[in-house]
Chain A
């Protein structure tokens, strides 16, 4: 699917705040049976990374960045009929952002990937209080808990959260990831045990979703 032409047209619409233009493109791509991976990774993720880069270079305002995120979230919703159609495997994952982390889109994509591979992906969203997460884990008894940070300032929080989970659930698999790990941070989980930092959606698929029975 992804040609530079489509990508550039989508990015231009996104930056212009043209929600309906973006929706038309995505609906066309869905009709052409474009895969979720292509849409999520090559279009949504790539374009948002570019938006982030433009923001860092002071080329767009924070308001534009927020608008782009908001439009992307709506575009993701258009893919849901494809995502939630998978046969369920009976496995469960709880996916959340740490307290103080307001960028939820990456975590939402992870939750959707779990669904795509037949898991129940329970998504708690941005800025989830630790106690709320712990209660949810007790209720749902997931096979995996996935924690996301998009800004590296939240590294200490994600480590604290992993420790708290490990204290009560010694055997629960924890995966972490997000743009917050762009400059490193994997060492934050040394000595906690069974915590994996995932660098990409592909790695998530390879290590946990395709071979989930073996990995767990």
Chain B
């Protein structure tokens, strides 16, 4: 071959090519390395032992020992300066006891790897599409469920009202003519009907909220006055269980923009829950305090407390904790979920702190200026 061309080729191999080109002696010390190899390892390789870079010589170890060099391609795994192991294929040439190694990236392997990555990416995208499709279907099903729930609950309210009305009429008109057993039966009919009506009202609330129909009628309101009123109303029920309700509102609280009926529903739910799960002789405290742009209401009981593992499910619909009411009061499992949605609708926050055997405190905070339109 033309010596000038060979010399040009050698310069190209050492200076510009994108293949690894090394020469080393039988002791494994690198005598020369080209620019590409130096760049790949991030340092000049000249004078360094090969084993610092090549972690597995494979068949090439035998080649080195016996000096039986052939231009057959041999696999070598190396550690690059990036820390990732890579596999290269080398051809070895022996020249005056100096071994020359010429290697290149195994494009076939890189191609296979790239194809696999593309397959994985494609699969991931297709699964993402499926997930979105399924989610959209679930949203539609949920809307349908809410619509059904709303219609069913609404249509059931009238018959329940009639049952309640007639049982109440019988109690009033015929009480003296009925045996005590029959009076008990009528009381059971009335009590059960009341609970059913309460459940239906809550189901209507849930279906309206979940359908995005939480329409708030916002007005500036005296929250402290609302707290007092609600505490007084519940004090009658609490007294039956020898439970006392006290209100502690010492700070000046400005009027807050809120939906009065809905916040009253929240207060009523939290206070009546506290009565439901408290033992006779205890006190329920309702307090208000200011903090920044928010006012916070706390309903504190000295009840049984809720195990910490169960507090997460408190605000989810139809979820119940292991804590039982103290006088056999019934619960729909929907109240706190509705309460949470009302507070979130006001762009407020609701949370709970509880300790078993000590009591539970429910907090909710509302922005003083009312919810800001998104």
**Residues of chain A at the chain B interface (Cβ within 8 Å):** 63, 66, 70, 73-74, 76-77, 80-81, 83-85, 88, 102, 104, 108, 111-112, 115, 123, 125-126
Given contacts A80-B129, A108-B129, contact A125 B135 (CB under 8 A): no
In chain B between 110 and 138, which residues have their CB closer than 8 angstroms to a CB of chain A?
Answer: 114, 118, 121-123, 125-126, 128-129, 132-133, 135-136
Which residue from chain B places its CB closest to the CB of A125 in the assembled complex?
A: B126
Task: Say whether A115 contacts B133, CB under 8 Å.
Answer: yes
* B118 adjacent to A70 (CB under 8 Å): yes
Q: Which of B122, B133, B140 contacts A104 (CB 8 A)?
A: B122
A49: min CB distance to chain B, Å: 20
CB–CB B118/A74 < 8 A = no
Listed by A's residue number, 29 A-B pairs whose Cβ atoms lie within 8 Å are A63-B114, A66-B118, A70-B118, A70-B121, A73-B121, A73-B125, A74-B125, A76-B125, A77-B125, A77-B128, A77-B129, A77-B132, A80-B128, A80-B129, A80-B132, A80-B133, A81-B132, A84-B132, A88-B140, A108-B125, A108-B129, A111-B129, A112-B129, A115-B133, A123-B129, A125-B122, A125-B123, A125-B126, A126-B122
- Residues on A with C-beta less than 8 A from B133 are 80, 84, 115
A73 touches B122 (CB 8 A): yes
Interface of chain B, helix or strand or loop or mixed?
helix
> Closest chain A residue to B110 by CB distance?
A63
Residues of B within 8 Å of A85, CB to CB, are: 136
Q: Which residues of B contact A115 (CB under 8 A)?
A: 133
Residue of B whose beta carbon sits closest to that of A122: B133
Encode B9-36 as 1/0 by CB contact (under 8 A) with A: 0000000000000000000000000000
Which residues of chain B have C-beta atoms less than 8 A from A70's C-beta? 118, 121
Residues of B within 8 Å of A77, CB to CB, are 125, 128-129, 132
Distance between B111 CB and nearest chain A CB, rounded to angstroms: 9
Q: In the complex, what distance in Å separates the CA atom of A77 from the CA atom of B121? A: 12
Name the distance in Å between A159's Cβ and chain B's nearest Cβ.
Answer: 25
